[in-house]
């Protein structure tokens, strides 16, 4: 058994020598390009010893290197110690890219596992390595033979139409119309969230996202689900077959694609892996279409999904209110020792009481004081911060409910309010002003997310402040917390915002060594003027409007802001009115679900601003 990294590297280098390979690249991905992946595919972690979520290992006959970004430098330094693997700090200006390093230091053939690269990523790599030959082979499988985790075999389950809002048969009709429009005969789907949405199935194969490990091919008169038969019981198999879905083994996808003949096959080059592409191009034409038609369809929530999201937000709001009420009492009494992990566990307990709750939608980020400035901070047992004295808690969390997915960030003060600094109030208010500006946006049909992003950044930019993450990501319905194809960030994403899209609204400020501030709600894209909320943004369109179709955002999240952190002198009357209207809606919606003490607590938190 190969217990240490040098042994594993030696075994891999033997395989490289036999295959005539000079360098082997091991990315931290899986065949489905998943955000969260099963440990069966944790090849980068296994060969390097680095356990972070994002990284790429490069192994040559004499060297081993790992590229990762600044979020993981400290973790990587510790985990790579004694492994002979050298850390490459890819966020540093002077750090070469993998392709640049290979061109300078390697001669001969570079290889990758085609299953671990999307079509587009593989061809981009091929272009970037220049004169080096890039080939595909799986060199990890022959050496990772001891204690490799199996592919998860958790059973799938049928997701009821009462939650999905549309039948499988209806979705397949729409997909086949998209095929017809593209003059294609088949659509290949590898992304697990697209498969779950299309076939109304869910599972527990992946952390935080209720997905089933599978592939799907949709043809004019056939829909085939490639999934291990052990994951489908007899009743569910019969249900799927009644819906026109044929079941074949998971590994049969490659032979199936090779045996397709003279078809035009659609696939998303950003979500289908190179191995599938090589199989399907043997006897067929391929048309890369990004985004996949299914991704576009699932991003537009139907009425049932929208109502489900609103219901899930009430469950989530009740849980958050009860958690913050407990936290408020704890900070006064300090009758137990609490740290970042115990707070996250306590919040999970309150969420788990909610109707239809199944899991968290991602690993809760609880950052106390300086840890809150680490954007994707994850507390670890024995290393996380204790909640002591006065300070700022950044809490980013979410839940998966059968009727919706939630994601919310609140920044709160713990301790004596008189110790809140003017600088902290100033930063918090800048974040809130950007948060409100995006929430209040009204914009014409066809607007892209990067055209709205400046609304959230504008007040910070005026003072030379910014943040390095996107302002808004798409959110799925009882599915991935991060969903495409549209988003709200400075990058030029050409996919326009559509009615029914749900996004996060989460600007932030991060002061290294001091604190982090982020405020996040989920917002739904709706027709302008369609809301009944008394907030001043929701005014009728002008009688002199020029006739275009206009959209705006409905805020879905229901949780109070910590108004003690606001600098009232920085807020306009409209911004104060927006906060007051939002707090009225939070209280009116949640209070019927709360007991008398909880109502009193929430009423105090939602008091109108002076």
Alpha-carbon distance of 39 to 208, in angstroms, equals: 14
Burial class (CB in 10 A: 0-12, 13-18, 19+), 527: middle
User: What is the CATH topology of the domain spanning 5-136?
Assistant: Creatine Amidinohydrolase; Chain A, domain 1 (3.40.350)
**CATH code for the structural domain at 157-299:** 3.40.350.10
Over residues 109-116, the mean pLDDT reads 98
**Number of alpha helices (DSSP H) and beta strands (DSSP E) in the chain:** 18, 28
Q: What is the pLDDT of residue 539?
A: 73
Domain ranges of the chain: 5-136, 157-299, 303-605
Task: For residue 358, name the pLDDT band (cuts at 50, 70, 90).
Answer: very high
What CA–CA distances, in Å, run from 17 to 13, 56, 123, 327, 479?
6, 21, 24, 59, 43
Alpha-carbon distance of 381 to 342, in angstroms, equals: 10
Task: For residue 538, name the pLDDT band (cuts at 50, 70, 90).
Answer: low
Task: For residue 533, name the pLDDT band (cuts at 50, 70, 90).
Answer: low
Query: How big, in percent rounded to 5, are the helix, strand and coil portions of the chain?
Result: 40, 20, 40
Q: What is the pLDDT of residue 297?
A: 98
- At residue 532, does pLDDT exceed 80? no
Task: For residue 543, name the pLDDT band (cuts at 50, 70, 90).
Answer: confident
Task: For residue 535, name the pLDDT band (cuts at 50, 70, 90).
Answer: low
What CA–CA distances, in Å, run from 99 to 67, 103, 106, 130?
12, 6, 10, 8
User: Which string of DSSP letters, residue by residue, matches 336-404?
Assistant: S--BHHHHHHHHHHHHHTSTTEEEESS--EEEEGGGGGSTT----TTTSPB--SSEEEEEEE-EEETTE
303-605: same fold as 5-136? no
Alpha-carbon distance of 45 to 441, in angstroms, equals: 43
- At residue 536, does pLDDT exceed 70? no
Task: Specify the pTM.
Answer: 0.95
Task: For residue 2, name the pLDDT band (cuts at 50, 70, 90).
Answer: low
Q: What is the pLDDT of residues 145-189, one digit of tens each?
A: 989 999 999 999 999 999 999 999 999 999 999 999 999 999 999
In what order do the strands lie in the sheet containing 222-226? Answer: 245-248, 222-226, 215-219, 186-189, 264-267, 285-288
User: What is the CATH topology of the domain spanning 303-605?
Assistant: Creatine Amidinohydrolase (3.90.230)
Report the 10 Å Cβ neighbour count for 285: 12
What is the percent of the chain with per-residue pLDDT over 70, rounded to a whole number?
99
Task: For residue 367, name the pLDDT band (cuts at 50, 70, 90).
Answer: very high
């Amino acid at each position: 058994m190969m217990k240490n990294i040098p042994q594993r590297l030696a075994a891999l280098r033997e395989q490289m020598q036999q295959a005539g390979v000079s360098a082997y690249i091991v990315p931290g991905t899986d065949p489905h390009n998943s955000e969260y992946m099963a440990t069966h595919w944790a090849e980068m972690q296994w060969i390097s010893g680095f356990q972070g979520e994002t990284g790429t290992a490069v192994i040559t006959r004499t060297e081993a290197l790992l590229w990762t970004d600044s979020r993981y430098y400290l973790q990587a330094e510790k985990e790579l110690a004694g492994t002979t693997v050298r850390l490459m700090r890819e966020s540093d200006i002077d750090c070469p890219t993998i392709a640049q390093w290979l061109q300078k230091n390697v001669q001969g053939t570079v290889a990758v596992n085609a299953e671990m690269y999307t079509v587009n990523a593989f061809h981009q790599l091929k272009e970037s390595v220049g004169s080096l030959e890039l080939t595909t082979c799986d060199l990890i499988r022959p050496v990772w033979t001891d204690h490799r985790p199996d592919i998860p075999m958790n059973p799938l389950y049928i997701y009821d139409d009462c939650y999905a809002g549309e039948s499988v048969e209806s979705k397949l009709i729409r997909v086949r119309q998209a095929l017809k429009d593209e003059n294609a005969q088949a659509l290949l789907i590898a992304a697990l969230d697209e498969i779950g949405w299309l076939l109304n199935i869910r599972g527990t194969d992946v952390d935080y996202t209720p997905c089933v490990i599978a592939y799907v091919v949709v043809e004019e008169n056939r829909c085939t689900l490639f999934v291990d038969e052990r994951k489908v019981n007899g009743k569910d198999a019969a249900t799927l077959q009644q819906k026109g879905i044929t079941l074949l083994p998971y590994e049969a996808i490659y032979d199936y694609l090779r045996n397709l003949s003279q078809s035009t096959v659609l696939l998303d080059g950003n979500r289908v892996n190179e191995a599938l592409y090589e199989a399907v191009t043997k006897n067929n034409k391929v048309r890369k279409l990004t985004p996949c038609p299914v991704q576009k369809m699932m991003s537009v929530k139907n009425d049932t999904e929208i109502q489900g999201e609103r219901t899930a937000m009430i469950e989530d709001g009740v849980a958050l209110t009860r958690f913050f009420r407990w936290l408020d009492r704890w900070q006064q009494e300090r009758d137990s020792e609490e740290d970042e992990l115990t707070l996250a566990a306590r919040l999970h307990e309150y969420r788990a009481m909610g109707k239809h709750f199944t899991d968290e939608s991602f690993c809760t980020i609880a950052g106390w004081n300086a840890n809150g400035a680490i954007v994707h901070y994850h507390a670890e047992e024995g290393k996380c911060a204790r909640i002591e004295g006065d300070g700022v808690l950044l809490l980013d969390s979410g839940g998966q409910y059968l009727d919706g997915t939630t994601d919310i960030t609140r920044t709160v003060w713990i301790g004596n309010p008189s110790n809140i600094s003017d600088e902290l109030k100033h930063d918090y208010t800048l974040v809130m002003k950007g948060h409100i500006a995006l929430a209040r946006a009204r914009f014409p049909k066809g607007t892209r997310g990067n055209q709205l992003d400046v609304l959230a950044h504008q007040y910070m930019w005026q003072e030379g402040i910014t943040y390095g993450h996107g302002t808004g990501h798409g959110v799925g319905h009882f599915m991935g917390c991060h969903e495409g194809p549209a988003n709200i960030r400075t990058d030029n994403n050409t996919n326009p915002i559509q009615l029914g899209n749900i996004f996060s609204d989460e600007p932030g400020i991060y002061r290294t060594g001091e604190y982090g501030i982020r405020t996040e709600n989920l917002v739904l894209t709706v027709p302008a003027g369609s809301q009944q909320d008394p907030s001043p943004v929701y005014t009728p369109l002008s009688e002199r409007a020029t006739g275009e179709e206009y959209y705006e955002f409905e805020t879905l999240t229901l949780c109070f802001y910590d108004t003690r952190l606001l600098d009232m002198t920085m807020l306009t009357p409209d911004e104060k009115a927006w906060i007051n209207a939002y707090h009225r809606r939070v209280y009116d919606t949640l209070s019927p679900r709360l007991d008398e003490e909880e109502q009193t607590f929430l009423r105090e938190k939602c008091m109108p601003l002076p």
